Amino acid sequence: MPELPENVERAVNIPLGLAKGLKATFMTMLKPAVTVQYPRVKETVAPRARGVISLVEDNCTVCMLCARQCPDWCIYIEGHKDKEPPRREGGKPRTVSKLDRFDIDYGLCMYCGICVEVCPFDALHWSPEFEYSEPSIADLLHDKTRLGQWEQTVPEQPGLEAGADAPKGKKK
Ligand code: SF4
Ligand code: SF4
C-alpha cells in the first residue's frame, strides 16, 4: 500500500482516535455503575471484613505479643503487676498483669491482621465497621475504651470445627 503524506495521515488519525475515544465513553456510560454515592448510599460489607479492631480487655494478659509482632509499631501497651488473693484457701497470693493502656493508631495501621492472629487469648477481633474517619489524624488513636466499644459491632463468630481446642481466655 502506498504511504500517505504525513499531513493526510494525521488528518485521518485525529477523527479516528476521537471516534474510538467516544465509543469507549458511550460503552462505559451504558454499563451499570460499580461505585456507590457514599455517604448517601452505603455498601453492605462482608461480615468478616477488616474494618476496625476491637479489644476484649478482660481477655488481655498484657503479654505484648501483638505489639511486638505489629509491623507498623502502632500498638501501644502499658501494664503493671498486681497481687490478687489465692484461688484456693491456703494458696499463695497470685501475681496478675493489669492493663493500663492499650492504644491502636489507625493512622499507621495497615490492617494486616497479624495482631488479631497472634493473640493467644482471643482478645482482639475484627469488626467490619469502617466509619471512623477523623478531621485530625491524632484522633485516629483509639484507646482501650474505644477499642472495647468496637466489640459491640463484631459479628457472631462461626462455631469451632469438630476437635478444635477452645480459645484460651485469661484465668480469673
Ligand atoms: S492490623 Fe497489622 S498494622 Fe494494624 S495494628 Fe494489627 S498488626 Fe499492626
Ligand atoms: S491483646 Fe492479646 S497478644 Fe496483645 S497483649 Fe493482650 S493478650 Fe497479648
Pocket test for ligand 1, best of 68, 102, 106, 111 (most atoms within 8 A of CB): 111
- CB 101, CB 62: distance < 8 Å: no
Tell me, yes or no, if the pTM score tops 0.95. no
Residue 59 Cα: closest atom of ligand 2: 7
Structural element, H or E, at residue 79: strand 75-84
* pLDDT tens-digit readout, 92-145: 889 999 999 999 999 999 999 999 999 999 999 999 999 999 999 999 999 999
- Residues 43-76 have pLDDT tens digits of 888 888 999 999 999 999 999 999 999 999 999 9
Residue with CA at minimum distance from ligand 1 atom 6: 115
**Whether 141 contacts 150, CB under 8 Å:** no
